[in-house]
Amino acid sequence: MFLTCEIFCEDYVKEPSYRLYINDELMVERDFVIPSDIQFRPRTVLETIMLTGADFVVPSDIYSHYEFGADLDLPDGTNTIAVESVKGTPEFILGVVTINNKKTSCTNGKFMI
């Protein structure tokens, strides 16, 4: 199944690093790098909705985000997803989680298959 999730970061100017875990297994460790043409110009809520097709309100228009995606073999039942800063700051926040292009309810990092 193909899982995607949005990763938001308010303080992305210094290109912080993050780790994403699924079921406590490290999936990726990356720098949060914004393309240079938009690095110092935050997206507005309207731009984010237009670019992503989002039907939610971004917590703040100074957030920028990535979308992580991977084809995974996840077990039935409860699964977990977590994102953390490599150095402890800044804070990273999970956005919408989808499985096979369908939104899934994800509460406190837990979702059902």
Between 61 and 29, whose confidence is greater? 29
pLDDT of amino acid 62: 46
**Confidence class for position 66, pLDDT limits 50, 70, 90:** confident
pLDDT of amino acid 58: 42
Rounded to an integer, the average pLDDT of 55-81 is 74
Q: Where are the domains of the chain?
A: 2-112
Between 76 and 66, whose confidence is greater? 76
pTM of the model: 0.72
E-strand ranges in 1-113 read: 2-9, 17-22, 25-31, 64-71, 78-85, 92-99, 102-104, 110-112
